[in-house]
Amino acid sequence: MNDKKLIFSGIQPTGTFTLGNYIGAVRNWGPLQDEYNCIYCVVDMHAITVRQDPVKLRQNSLNSYALLMACGVDPQKSILFIQSHVKTHAELSWILGCNTQFGELSRMTQFKDKSQKHADDVNSGLFTYPVLMAADILAYNADLVPVGVDQKQHLELARNIAQRFNQRYGDFFTLPEPYIPEVGAKVMSLQEPTKKMSKSDENPNACILILDDKDTIIRKFKRAVTDSDTEVCYREGKDGINNLMTIYSIVTGKDFAAIESEFAGRGYGDFKLAVGEAVADHLEPVRTEFDRLSKDKAYLKQCYTEGAEKALRYSQRIISKVYRKVGFVDKT
């Protein structure tokens, strides 16, 4: 490889990507390929920390892979693969788990949220989820990790684990830095704009799926919860409007001042319609490309097979060194 910095990121195949996943993370993955060496992954092993229907999980994983390509990840420029195809992630996860404290994992807010939401299945995978995430990143010694702001705590833990390993066994792991966009790092629910937009929201109007058709997107934006004011402006407390302005700004490239003057005196109805149309137009090429790619099963298979081979080769070198450092006996 060259001396460019290394990027790693992953996304769960727990359903179709939301506009939040797209704006906060995936949209940035394509452009990063020109400046960095990039490794991207569909994290199916993370997905099974909550119950999944096996048939749907398989389909969602393949769709997520194709969707990443439709969003601009090029498997010729990046290493793009499916997590369960590369055994080093699970292997490293065990070692890192032995360097992670129970107390640290207990403090993770995602664990607290998810264990409340899935109270009948608080399994140990849900608890050690962040260790596997640290393994994903450290198996490649990645420098930067592009994610939405909700993943910041997990990344800090990954850095702490890496640091502890380095102290115990001698400097080895790179401490990964979060790479969080300045605007759009937390897209909010359209129905409860103080909560993040999430794939697993029960209210279908709360989130835009990037494969929703134009009419559905417009309808969901028309129903978006705002406030009793009438002025389109970015102000503290106007969570719904602030969220819509952020989304509109990202898909049109207009700044907040330009948006405020565009909608001065026009009211929320006009604004919501404009946001819906702009988002639908922005996502149209993604939908078209996804339709084309998902029909080409042989090509997708070739891409994920080659991706996994490259990822394994790369991470195997790192994990062999880790095995030596912790004192495992050489196999050869």
Task: Out of 136, 143, 201, 212, name the contact with ligand LTN by CB under 6 A.
Answer: 136
> The tokens 């969901």 sit on which residue?
220
25 binds ligand ATP (CB under 6 A): yes
Query: Is 117 assigned a catalytic role?
Result: no
- For CA atoms 294, 20, 150, 74, the dihedral sign is positive
For the question of residue 199 being annotated catalytic, the response is: yes
Residue 139 touches which of ligand ATP, ligand LTN, none (Cβ within 5-8 Å per kind): none
**Cβ distance 249 to 258 under 8 Å?**
no
**Radius of gyration of the chain measured on its C-alpha atoms:** 21
Q: Catalytic: 310?
A: no
Cα–Cα distance measured from residue 15 to residue 300, given in angstroms and rounded to the nearest whole number: 18
Rounded Cα gap, residues 291 and 2, in angstroms: 34
Residue 21 or 226: the one with the smaller Cβ distance to ligand LTN is: 21
Residue pointed to by tokens 């891409």? 303
In the list ligand ATP, ligand LTN, none, the entry touching 145 (Cβ below 5 to 8 angstroms by class) is ligand LTN
Q: Which of 39, 147, 217, 308 binds ligand LTN (CB under 6 A)?
A: 147
Q: Give the CB-side neighbour count of residue 223, counting CA atoms within 13 A.
A: 14
- The one catalytic residue in 5, 77, 186, 199 is 199
Interface with ligand LTN includes 133 (CB under 6 A)? yes
Query: Candidates 132-140, 182-190, 207-215, 301-309 — which segment interacts with ligand LTN by CB under 6 A?
Result: 132-140
Q: Binding ligand LTN by CB under 6 A: which of 6, 7, 10, 20?
A: 10
Residue with the closest Cβ to ligand ATP? 24
> Total residues at the site for ligand ATP (CB under 6 A)?
21
Shortest distance, position 171 Cβ to ligand ATP, whole Å:
28
Nearest-angstrom CA–CA distance, 14 and 19: 14
d(CA 223, CA 187): 16
Q: What is the 3-state secondary structure (H, E, C) of 26-83?
A: HHHHHHHCCCCEEEEEECHHHHCCCCCCHHHHHHHHHHHHHHHHHCCCCCCCCEEEEH
Q: Select 12 or 174, whichever has its Cβ closest to ligand ATP.
A: 12
Q: Which residues are the active-site residues?
A: 114, 196, 199
Residues near ligand LTN (CB under 6 A): 8-12, 43, 46, 133, 136-137, 145, 147, 151, 154
Residues near ligand ATP (CB under 6 A): 11-12, 14, 18, 20-21, 23-25, 147-148, 150-151, 185-187, 196-200
